[in-house]
């Protein structure tokens, strides 16, 4: 969300909170933050006049800069750092009223890629921190649903068809599993500082530190510490693993969001009716059909999931075509893809948190849908228990019962299956009571409860919410 771009056609991330972390002003602030931190590093090493860092820090307040002007002038050097540096140097000169030469601390020994790569990693670090707050709100809500509905029966579906008895608790636990596993991977990523100089050899840094106790490598480590980024062994101008790993982590997390949204879009259909999104005034209404209650949170989340893979692929395409020691257009193509991934993930995370924390669950509808297939859902378990009692032809005999049942209308299949099964299995082999037990869906849940427990136990850091509130992306959507 930039000046003149408020996300009108991207409602999933149309939020002032998302813009504050990923918008153009956030990028400007990150670039200026790198320059200010670098000035502090140089002053700390005694390489620039004392007091320089304070002047640069004062000059680096992002609100002082015309974002639209910087963006337009960036075309002259193919990146925003160059025009912004001109503005920063002018501002530092203006503020250096004591004439200490604070301008010497601006960008010395850096190159544009050092600043922009580090700035984007800083932007990502801030965004991921906020993102994980909302993710942990979501996983906490899912863990609660898993525990509350451990015994809530529903139907498990395979290739769109009724498969076996299931529990909503296990469904919620599996949603939790996808989100928690992806978030844990994202959380573990190290976002590195960049410092290589004009050609990636640290030549100017070597000259700068000659005769001092510092080296280009100690300066790079100090910059990483100032910014809260990871130190690096060497410059990574054309080794883009840091970027592709971040993109993959964000895309995988959005994938897990998309899985939940896809399930909810089906399960909230009126003819299914097992779940409902939280209600809010003005949300989900239609411009033409007053009776509609559109599941807009799921729609927005799904829209992010449909965009993310291509953006991650763009990062890999760029990484695979980085030429020479400093790249041309491949580097430039990373920036919008990475920032879009960050904004999509952040926006979708806020919507998913609200959705899961307010999810409406309808166990009666789950039971109703389960009973559409009724005893047929237990045919696998029946065959395993009964076929050995019927001799060599036992499996074929029981399969014939199923085949005959499926010829009948769906509304009649439960009754017909039970009748044909009783006729096919002698009472002296299987009593009525035993058969009734075999046809009870609660008797064929396998290790559903234990699977849920193991999933939740595997991610203890994601079963309680983070301490702050994350971001809010609440808002009505019409369609």
Catalytic annotation, residues: 286, 326
Pick from 148, 124, 144, 134: nearest CA to 179? 134
Q: Is 158 helix (H, G, I), strand (E, B) or coil?
A: strand
Distance CA 416, CA 353 (A): 44
Q: Is 49 helix (H, G, I), strand (E, B) or coil?
A: coil
In Å, how far are 36, 62, 69, 89, 373 from 57, measured between CA atoms? 5, 10, 21, 12, 68
Question: Which three-class secondary structure string do you get for 86-137?
Answer: HHHHHHHHHHCCCCCCHHHHCCCCCCHHHHHHHHHHHHHHHHHHHHHHHHHH
> Which strand (E) or helix (H) includes residue 276?
strand 275-276
Q: Is 164 helix (H, G, I), strand (E, B) or coil?
A: strand
314: left (phi over 0), alpha (psi -120 to 50) or beta: alpha
Q: Give Cβ neighbours of residue 413 (< 8 Å, ≥ 6 apart).
A: 373, 374, 376, 405, 406
Distance CA 420, CA 171 (A): 32
Phi, psi of 151 (to 5 degrees): -110, 10
Distance CA 457, CA 26 (A): 37
CB 36 within 8 A of CB 85: no
Tokens of 351: 């919507």
Tokens of 155: 């139907």
Q: Residue 192 forms beta bridges with which residues?
A: 230
DSSP string, 191-245: -B-----TTSS-HHHHHHHTTSS--HHHHHHHHHHHHTPBP-SS--SS--HHHHH
In Å, how far are 105, 184, 206, 236 from 199, measured between CA atoms? 20, 35, 13, 11
Distance CA 465, CA 368 (A): 34
Q: Is 161 helix (H, G, I), strand (E, B) or coil?
A: strand
Distance CA 426, CA 395 (A): 15
> Which strand (E) or helix (H) includes residue 383?
helix 379-386
CB 359 within 8 A of CB 277: yes
């Amino acid at each position: 969300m930039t000046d003149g771009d408020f996300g009108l056609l991207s409602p999933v991330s149309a939020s002032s909170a998302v813009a504050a972390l990923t918008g153009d002003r956030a990028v400007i602030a990150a670039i200026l933050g790198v320059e200010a931190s670098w000035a502090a590093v140089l002053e700390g090493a005694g390489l620039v006049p004392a007091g320089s860092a304070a002047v640069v820090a004062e000059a680096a307040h992002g609100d002082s800069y015309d974002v639209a002007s910087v963006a337009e002038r960036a075309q002259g050097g193919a990146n925003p750092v160059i025009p912004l540096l001109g503005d920063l140097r002018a501002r530092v000169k203006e503020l250096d009223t004591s004439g200490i030469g604070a301008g010497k601390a601006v960008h010395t020994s850096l190159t544009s890629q050092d600043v922009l790569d580090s700035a984007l990693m800083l932007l990502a670090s801030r965004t991921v921190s906020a993102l994980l707050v909302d993710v942990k709100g979501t996983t906490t809500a899912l863990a609660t649903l898993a525990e509350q509905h451990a015994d809530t029966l529903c139907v498990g579906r395979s290739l769109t068809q009724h498969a076996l008895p299931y529990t909503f608790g296990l469904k919620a636990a599996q949603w939790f599993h996808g989100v928690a596993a992806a978030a844990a991977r994202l959380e573990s990523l190290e976002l590195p500082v960049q410092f290589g100089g004009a050609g990636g050899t640290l030549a100017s840094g070597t000259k700068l530190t000659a005769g001092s106790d510092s080296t280009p490598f100690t300066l790079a480590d100090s910059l990483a510490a100032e910014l809260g980024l990871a130190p690096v062994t060497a410059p990574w101008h054309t080794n883009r693993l840091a970027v592709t790993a971040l993109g993959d982590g964000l895309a995988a997390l959005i994938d897990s969001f998309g899985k939940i949204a896809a399930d909810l879009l089906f399960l909230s259909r009126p003819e299914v009716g097992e779940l409902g999104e939280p209600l809010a005034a003005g949300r989900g209404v239609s411009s033409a059909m007053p009776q509609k209650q559109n599941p807009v949170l799921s729609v927005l989340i799904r829209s992010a999931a449909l965009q993310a893979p291509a953006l991650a692929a763009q990062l890999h395409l760029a990484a695979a075509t980085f030429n020479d020691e400093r790249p041309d257009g491949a580097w430039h193509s990373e920036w919008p893809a990475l920032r879009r991934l960050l904004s999509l993930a952040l926006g979708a995370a806020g919507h998913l948190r609200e959705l899961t924390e307010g999810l409406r669950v309808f166990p009666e509808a789950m039971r109703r849908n389960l009973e559409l297939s009724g005893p047929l859902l237990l045919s696998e378990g029946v065959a395993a228990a009964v076929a050995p009692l019927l001799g060599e032809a036992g499996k074929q005999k029981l399969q014939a019962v199923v085949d005959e049942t499926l010829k009948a209308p769906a509304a009649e299949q439960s009754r017909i299956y039970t009748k044909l099964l009783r006729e096919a299995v002698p009472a002296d082999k299987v009593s009525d009571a035993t058969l009734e037990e075999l046809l009870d869906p609660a008797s064929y849940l396998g290790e559903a409860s234990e699977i849920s427990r193991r999933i939740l136990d595997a991610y203890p850091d994601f079963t309680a919410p983070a301490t702050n509130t994350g971001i809010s992306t609440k808002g009505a959507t019409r369609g």
